[in-house]
Structure 1
């Protein structure tokens, strides 16, 4: 097998590692591409293409994350990971770990870790690399990697919410939510909210948004009461999709262009968190983008639908 074939076979794994370390589709794709260039430039064939490429993509991702931390601290409003519709890497033996680590909630917890802790956690807990391989990948001793893994697990465990385990129940509740959304039934939407629900929006200062974080069922219901009629009036399309392995949707304008993505976190049969990504810089990989400001102007100017 040639280098190109080896690389293409490993590309899904490399992207999945990079995305979980970075929380960014575009940065993960760049890291994977740079890994290929370095692999292509090697004059000697590595004993293991997987080990070589995993090391390169992990180290590149750590370096990118270190510089990204500064930018994220200066980010306008809440920072959320770039939405991912499909994880290219599949491993039936690790399906639960792969899905859990992809959720918006898990990726936000990973943001609390140092770049090295995050890389070690991803390699060990998500992809089941052994400690000798992890040590070689991150350039630390096995003992140091054990310590990094322990700290990372402790931080992740302390912050992890107990989300609904039953995927069927999550999907059913999300279906009810988006059905009510499309029908403009704010009362039905409100019934699905937990008392301490949060609605968190990432616009990066580049798209319309309400308050960055809205807390409590009454306040979130108030926002939905304003927002849902605007979507309907603007003939927007709510397209239910899995987003980061969780129930969610893509909101599109009347032309089918992307306005935002929504993901729903479910706990105890109620919506606990609604994450919305509206920043166009984080949506371009999904498809052609709408002009969100123009869509808002049109929806505001349009007469309400007749009943």
Structure 2
């Protein structure tokens, strides 16, 4: 990940706002929640104002403190055991024309697929895996976490092993473990995802079960996160035929009351879909040229940060 300027926080205030987005994205990768990430960064800034006069390397201090406060937040957080249906991370949505603020915003450590799998990691493991995916060296990771380089390597190995145990065939896991983790999602992969997304939306709109099934991987899984606030499947839907029938059924029930806008979701091609005034944020994970994972966030709490016009102004 491109390093921040060493003078970004010179004098305590200059460039501090520029650092906020970088730090919030880092905390978001750690927490899987934009609201939690903003809370973490707010706490970091409060600490910064008390300590900045004695800090030599402002960006380094901010990075280290953000990671440590995110770890504290993860340790304090307990996912509600009574959560209704599958849980998905709060999506980060941009208009395609906006483009990402940096290549790091397209990295695999930002993807919905990775953030979902990362819930299986311990907080230190998650921190190390995220930082390594952002091209921090083991020595830098060790300094950020206040541990030895050997311990950092051990957390990294155990974290990757746990991800592989959860879904070793997932493209997100392979990318984090391989060279693709060092940069943005390649343009050809983005193009393939965009193509499959468009074909998926078209088949769903037309009610073409055969065409939709042909787009789906044999091991496809569809996650629908309504959080108990919006009607959604309460279990993960698995298998091409089951997923296709489910999607066609939902689309058919809202014929004439649906709208779509193509956007970028967590750095990858996605869509804002409105079904009878209910917003859905869709994104995909692709494997072997087919849709391997389908993610649908329709929990109103997780979509509250999105502009109302973005959901209702779909075309």
Q: TM-score, with normalisation over the residues of structure 2?
A: 0.80
SS in 1 for 2:260: strand
How many residues of Structure 1 are paired with residues of Structure 2 in the alignment?
282
Aligned to 2:62: 53
The runs of at least 4 aligned residues of structure 1 exceeding 6 Å deviation read none
1:32 paired residue among 26, 32, 41? 41
Matched, 1:252 2:271: no
Matched, 1:83 2:95: no
SS in 2 for 1:44: helix
- Could you say what the CA RMSD is over the residues aligned between the two structures, in angstroms? 2.6
* Cα distance change of structure 1 residues 114 and 89 upon mapping to structure 2, 3 Å threshold: farther
Separation (CA, whole Å) in 1 of partners of 2:69 and 2:50: 16
Contact 2:12–2:53 under 8 Å retained in 1: no
2:299 paired residue among 244, 262, 279? 279
Matched, 1:266 2:282: no
1:116 paired residue among 118, 124, 149? 124
Q: TM-score, with normalisation over the residues of structure 1?
A: 0.82
Separation (CA, whole Å) in 2 of partners of 1:196 and 1:289: 35
Separation (CA, whole Å) in 1 of partners of 2:168 and 2:267: 16
Separation (CA, whole Å) in 1 of partners of 2:194 and 2:239: 23
Contact 1:262–1:275 under 8 Å retained in 2: yes
Q: Render the CA deviation track for 1:10-48: whole Å, top value 9, x for unaligned.
A: 222211210111011111111112211211222624111
Q: Render the CA deviation track for 1:128-166: whole Å, top value 9, x for unaligned.
A: 223333223222222222211221222234434343973
Aligned to 1:71: 79
Shift of residue 65 of structure 1?
0.9
Aligned to 1:206: 229
Separation (CA, whole Å) in 1 of partners of 2:33 and 2:170: 25
1:168-179 alignment, distance < 5 Å? 168-179=191-202
Separation (CA, whole Å) in 2 of partners of 1:230 and 1:289: 23
Separation (CA, whole Å) in 2 of partners of 1:196 and 1:133: 38
Separation (CA, whole Å) in 2 of partners of 1:243 and 1:160: 23
Shift of residue 99 of structure 1?
1.9
Aligned to 1:302: none
